[in-house]
Structure 1
Amino acid sequence: MACPFLRDPIDIGAQIVRKTIRTKRLFKDRQNPLSFSEEYINERYHFSSHCIVYLADLLTPSLRNDTLRSYPLTVMQTLCIGLHFFACGEFMHAVGDAENLSKSTVCRAIRRVYLALARILPDFVKFPGHCSQQEVKDSFYRIAGLPNVIGVVDCTHIPIKVPSGPEASDYTNQRSFHSINVQMVCDSQCLITNIEAKWPGSVNDFHILQKSTLYHQFQQGIFDGWLVADNEYPCLPFMMTPYLNPKPGAESCFNEALYETRACIKTTFTTLRARFGCLKGLRVSPQSACDIIVACMVLHNVAIIRKEAPPCFSWMPRNKPEPVYCDHQDGTAIRDSIAAQLFASCSQVL
């Protein structure tokens, strides 16, 4: 006899059977991001497949997804989403369309990648470099004969969207667009050895240097060498800058040698913008922009260390900025001494 409280005992029985023998959900397997030609991979991610595999192994502890709720993105898929965003600089929904993923999934993946890269910054960005200090000096000396140089310092502005809130004006730079003013130091091989990526665009270059740990380390005499800079900075005992109005002979020779030595930082800036299209304009909050910038610096050094093919770019004209600070007397004395030594061999050096 059927139970009076059940409308259809047969249906109830079928429900019990279905719960007992639950069918496993099937998810469509996403394609392997590296299952394309090497040319396509380089064009899409601006890295070779071998380097991408290296990065995936390096970042696996941070990018591994242990969820069992659904079919998660693999480490390789997550990494390639991030690399695609860094390379193209498109809106995140455009990256999602290209990867056949939702915008929310893409946003989470990109954030995981740039935070994972930021965590390994100390492993890849070291001052004065990954080799000995003397090797760094020798490498710079071979460029134009300037002795004792262990780094070239300069700043570059990375455009960002207009920030919200009352601090928006702080990010407006002298060219009237919103930016992060990023300080970098590089060696003769364009390897970034120090970075400050946290200052609004309105902050001037020398102020950023003065507030940096690197500046105080030089003041304390921790490093036995000099930085090279342009006239946005004063001439200091540990930082050489060009003569403002060089006289023919030693001073002119010094300036030319310094310009040649400084060229590596301009090459570094140009290479960064060519490899990482996102740096041409970040449509995220200032804090996220700073994290993304740091991630790109780490990837840049990985590319240099692993000898990745450089991206194509056009050379930028050399601009001589107007001086904004007075030189330090001890710094000018050191500069005069170097110039006098260079004068005797000026014709051989330049």
Structure 2
Amino acid sequence: MACPFIDEEPVDVGAAIIHRAFNLPAPRHFRDRTNPLAFPEEYLWERYRFSRPGIVYLCTLLEPHIVRPTRRSRALTTVQSVCIGLRFFASGSFLYSVGDAEALSKATVCREIRRVYVTLKTYLNRFVTFPGHLEPQRIKEEFYSIAGFPNVLGAIDCTHICIRAPSGPAEADFVNQKSFHSINVQMICDGRCLITNIEAKWPGSVHDERIWRASSLSHRFAQGDFNGILLGDRGYPCLPFLLTPYMDPATDPQRAFNRAHARTRARVEMLFGLMKSRFQCLKVLRVAPDRACDIIVACAVLHNIATIRSERVPHVLDEEGWDDIIAEPQEPVDGQRMRDLYTATYFS
């Protein structure tokens, strides 16, 4: 079946016969550069981080929201709009660089990128759902297969997305402990590095613990809505449903607990590396904080789509150590008791 977004160029059979009869050079065929899909597969992945079928899927998904009712004034097609957004997410370039690559003005590029990420945000609840797209028991089995840590529904952590310094009195709120402006984004993932929950609305100065306590998911866990636990680092409080490692393990079982905890929770750190390698725009977002939050959510939706569709995984670059700031909150007694129970039951 022909791709609905690729226009096939007709072949002039008569011209070809004439060229052969008079021993003339073969006619040159040029790709339609207004069609981003008229290029090899490697070209598409390097620039858009999706294969041709993946881009077609995204066009089909987003077309009802971004299609134009007319082609007057050379209106952009759906595939052009989607590829403009994907090129920005994948490269993180300045808007005029994306415009030069797509032969469009900076204003047009800005408008199309916004249309794409606002539309992707509307699919958040469809592609990012807790505890995940699999049955809870399957999720627990995937985590258990990593290091033998039982009953785990997700790994949780925060990462800082650098942004341009905003204007106004709230500018200082976005300065984090490493003295750069950022959005502090909390994510939870399953054993396949699929995002199951995201909180992308907090300035960089806000601590991980506060983001967790203010989230709706923490209240649902406290009410007993889920039969399972999360694994977090020492930036989170140790709770009956959110276990953190021992600060100073003194026994072999405690050290075994910490090793299994670290290997299992590493899935969320792998997630951050994958996202920032796949979508280079997350290295630095040169936009206002509210737009930065929308772009982060759009990249989370795209990451899950790419993971579900088994798209090619990019080479993960080493992180720059932005996420190693840990201010340890006080550990509640009930959380310590649950951690000790897990240690005695499964790691002794």
The alignment's TM-score, normalised by the length of structure 2, stands at 0.88
- CA contact 1:118–1:298 (8 Å) conserved in 2: yes
Q: Secondary structure at the match of 1:180?
A: strand
The letter of the residue matching 1:334 is M
Deviations 1:57-85 (A, max 9, x none): 01111110114541210000000000000
Q: Secondary structure at the match of 1:155?
A: strand
CA distance in 2, matches of 1:284, 1:291: 10
The letter of the residue matching 1:55 is L
Aligned to 1:173: 176
Q: Please state if 1:235 is matched with 2:226.
A: no
Aligned to 1:342: 346
Q: Secondary structure at the match of 2:150?
A: coil
Q: Please state if 1:97 is matched with 2:100.
A: yes
Q: Secondary structure at the match of 1:70?
A: helix
Out of 301, 304, 318, the residue aligned to residue 304 of structure 2 is: 301
Q: Please state if 1:253 is matched with 2:244.
A: no
Matches within 5 A, 1:81-92: 81-92=84-95
- CA contact 2:277–2:317 (8 Å) conserved in 1: no
The letter of the residue matching 1:110 is I
- CA contact 1:230–1:321 (8 Å) conserved in 2: no
The letter of the residue matching 2:162 is P
5+ long unaligned stretches in structure 1:
1-28, 345-350
CA distance in 2, matches of 1:69, 1:140: 53
- CA contact 1:231–1:321 (8 Å) conserved in 2: no
Q: Please state if 1:126 is matched with 2:129.
A: yes
Q: Quote the sequence identity (%).
A: 54
CA distance in 2, matches of 1:246, 1:240: 14
CA distance in 1, matches of 2:55, 2:330: 47
CA distance in 2, matches of 1:278, 1:162: 16
**Quick check: which has more Rg, 1 or 2?**
1
Deviation at 1:315, TM superposition (A): 4.4
Deviations 1:116-163 (A, max 9, x none): 100001110000000111111111111111111101110000011010
Give the aligned length.
316
Deviation at 1:342, TM superposition (A): 2.6
- CA contact 1:127–1:194 (8 Å) conserved in 2: yes
State which drifts further: 323-332 or 244-253.
323-332
CA distance in 1, matches of 2:226, 2:207: 24
Deviation at 1:202, TM superposition (A): 0.5
Compared CA separation, residues 188 and 63, structure 1 to 2 (3 A): same
The letter of the residue matching 2:329 is Y
The letter of the residue matching 1:112 is R
CA distance in 2, matches of 1:156, 1:185: 11
**Root mean square deviation of aligned Cα:** 1.5
The letter of the residue matching 1:281 is V
Compared CA separation, residues 117 and 60, structure 1 to 2 (3 A): same
Aligned to 1:198: 201
Compared CA separation, residues 317 and 202, structure 1 to 2 (3 A): closer
Q: Please state if 1:219 is matched with 2:219.
A: no
5+ long unaligned stretches in structure 2:
1-31
Deviations 1:249-284 (A, max 9, x none): 100000000000011000000000000010000111
Deviation at 1:300, TM superposition (A): 0.3
CA distance in 2, matches of 1:249, 1:323: 26
CA distance in 2, matches of 1:147, 1:201: 33
CA distance in 2, matches of 1:322, 1:277: 25
Deviation at 1:331, TM superposition (A): 1.1
Aligned to 1:329: 333
Q: Please state if 1:310 is matched with 2:309.
A: no
Compared CA separation, residues 209 and 275, structure 1 to 2 (3 A): same
Compared CA separation, residues 75 and 139, structure 1 to 2 (3 A): same
- CA contact 2:177–2:325 (8 Å) conserved in 1: no
CA distance in 2, matches of 1:322, 1:107: 37
- CA contact 1:217–1:223 (8 Å) conserved in 2: yes
CA distance in 1, matches of 2:235, 2:33: 51
- CA contact 2:140–2:150 (8 Å) conserved in 1: yes
Out of 125, 140, 151, the residue aligned to residue 137 of structure 1 is: 140
The letter of the residue matching 2:206 is V
CA distance in 1, matches of 2:180, 2:49: 27
Q: Secondary structure at the match of 1:153?
A: strand
Out of 54, 57, 60, the residue aligned to residue 54 of structure 1 is: 57
Aligned to 1:10: none
